[in-house]
Structure 1
Amino acid sequence: MFTGLVQSLGQLQHLGQYQLKITCPTANAPILVGIALGDSIAVDGVCLTVEKILPQGFIASASPETLDKSTLGKVLDNGKVNLEPSLRVGSKIGGHFVTGHVDGIGQLDRAERVANAWEISFKQVSPLVARYIVNKGSVAVNGISLTVAACSPSGDWFSTAVIPVTYAETNLPYLRPGDWVNLEGDVLGKYVEKFMGDRTLSPHHLQDGIGEPSEELSMAFFAEHGYLS
């Protein structure tokens, strides 16, 4: 589990079809402090396991499924990648819950400096992600927790507003229009979709055998219980 707050930038190298080497500019990069074998580290939003520790980085493996669903197989050697260690108990949650399980990819549409922020939009969003893109909702782009500022009805296009510090300390400045990025939808939306797909909640019986019949999940249900304003 991650929060989408990138701690370091690294460089990725391919050591074969499924093995990746990630290095940091300095040996004391924040991501390397306390690193241990078996740790989970998000690399451009993809959860990978540390298999070998290097003086300035680590080695991890990526499965065929991971390479198929993400951009890791497309990143050129020495390409910049965002790095974040897994969330530890008691740590601050500054972004949103990110699992590191990429849903699909999208393309950078444009990046424009506006006042003290950057307006960045993405297109050709995979349908597996587009279904979870909602206005003012959360989305992870290359592992960065961002808020959707605007989106198309289908979610296949969306824009975000990025503050200067986030833009400067991630790999966003290195992206060019047409470049592919990893996208992960908000996990909360996935659970809502699951329950709404079932349309009804299964009956829940208490230990003493007394239970209440389930209520139909609808927009009226959510409004009645304070989920909609």
Structure 2
Amino acid sequence: MFTGLIQALGTVKALGGDRFEISISAEGAAPIMKDLEIGDSVAVDGVCLTVEVILEQGFVATASPETLNRTILGQAIARSEKVNIETSLRVGSKIGGHFVTGHVDSVGSLEKSVQTAQAWEMWFTHNRENEDTWWENIAPCLVPKGSIAVNGISLTVAECDRQGHWFKVAVIPHTYAETNLIYLQPGSWVNLEGDILGKYVQRFISYKDQSKASSITNDFLAEHGYL
């Protein structure tokens, strides 16, 4: 479990097969490496990976074919792109973002980015190759002022259309400068994870028992503060 608050930037290098070396930038390595242990979970661009070997300034992990097919981790490796790094949440730690599981739901792409006086406004949408997972996992969770993880970064949905074709986030200068959002160009792909609470609400609404209709309705959820 993570919070979506990025601690450092790094790069990923293929070691052969499904094993990868994640190198952490010198300025961000200290807080991550100080208590890193084998078996720990680390989010790499929002993808939860398990530490198998600890290096002086990074670690080695294995990514399954499912992970590589469902995320942009393979692109980051091929293009030597910067990736966001966050260690897992410790019990008792501050939760400054939202609960992020590290299980990517779909891939989207940056439509446009506009700098304003106070922030960077960024629009994201689906792409042709990942429309199915977008409509199944992302669109139902898009709620104005709700949470979403973009490349593992906890962001707030500032605006979205009712159908879920796109969403906009407002990124403060610190987050923009300290994460790989600064390197994105229109058309760049990103890992997306919907808010886990939204996933469960969506599941409750859509689930129908074979013998009887579910008692979880929109009215029920609204009455109990979920809508």
Normalised TM-score (structure 2):
0.89
- Whether contact under 8 Å (2:8, 2:25) holds in the other structure is no
1:110-149 superposed matches below 5 A: 110-124=112-126, 126-127=134-135, 128-149=137-158
User: Percent identity over the alignment?
Assistant: 58
Q: Structure 1 residue 43 and structure 2 residue 44: aligned?
A: yes
Q: Which residue of 2 aligns with 1:178?
A: 187
Q: Which residue of 2 aligns with 1:107?
A: 109
Aligned counterparts of 2:225 and 2:73: Cα–Cα separation in 1: 41
Q: Structure 1 residue 10 and structure 2 residue 28: aligned?
A: no
Deviates more, 1:142-151 or 1:31-40: 31-40
Which blocks of at least 5 consecutive residues in structure 2 are unaligned? 128-133
Deviations 1:176-217 (A, max 9, x none): 1101000000010111122112358x9xxxxxxxxxxx9822
- The amino acid of 2:113's aligned partner reads A
Q: Which residue of 2 aligns with 1:162?
A: 171
1:209-228 superposed matches below 5 A: 216-228=215-227
Q: Which residue of 2 aligns with 1:211?
A: none
Deviations 1:95-148 (A, max 9, x none): 000000000100011111111211011111622322211211100000000000
Which blocks of at least 5 consecutive residues in structure 1 are unaligned? 203-213
- The amino acid of 2:114's aligned partner reads E
- Whether contact under 8 Å (1:97, 1:187) holds in the other structure is yes
Aligned counterparts of 2:36 and 2:226: Cα–Cα separation in 1: 40
Q: Which has the higher helix share?
A: 2
* Deviation of 1:81 (Å): 0.3
- Whether contact under 8 Å (1:124, 1:156) holds in the other structure is yes
Q: 1:81 aligns with which of 67, 83, 108?
A: 83
Q: 1:151 aligns with which of 139, 160, 181?
A: 160
Deviates more, 1:67-76 or 1:189-198: 189-198
Aligned counterparts of 1:176 and 1:215: Cα–Cα separation in 2: 44
Aligned counterparts of 1:72 and 1:25: Cα–Cα separation in 2: 18
- The amino acid of 1:142's aligned partner reads N
- Counterpart of 2:75 in 1: which secondary structure? coil
Q: Structure 1 residue 189 and structure 2 residue 190: aligned?
A: no
Q: CA RMSD in A?
A: 2.0
- Counterpart of 1:136 in 2: which secondary structure? coil
Aligned counterparts of 1:117 and 1:160: Cα–Cα separation in 2: 10
Aligned counterparts of 1:70 and 1:168: Cα–Cα separation in 2: 23
- Counterpart of 1:15 in 2: which secondary structure? strand
Indicate the structure (1 or 2) with the bigger Cα radius of gyration. 1
Aligned counterparts of 2:214 and 2:55: Cα–Cα separation in 1: 55
* Deviation of 1:11 (Å): 1.2
Deviates more, 1:159-168 or 1:119-128: 119-128
- The amino acid of 1:38's aligned partner reads G
- Whether contact under 8 Å (2:140, 2:202) holds in the other structure is no
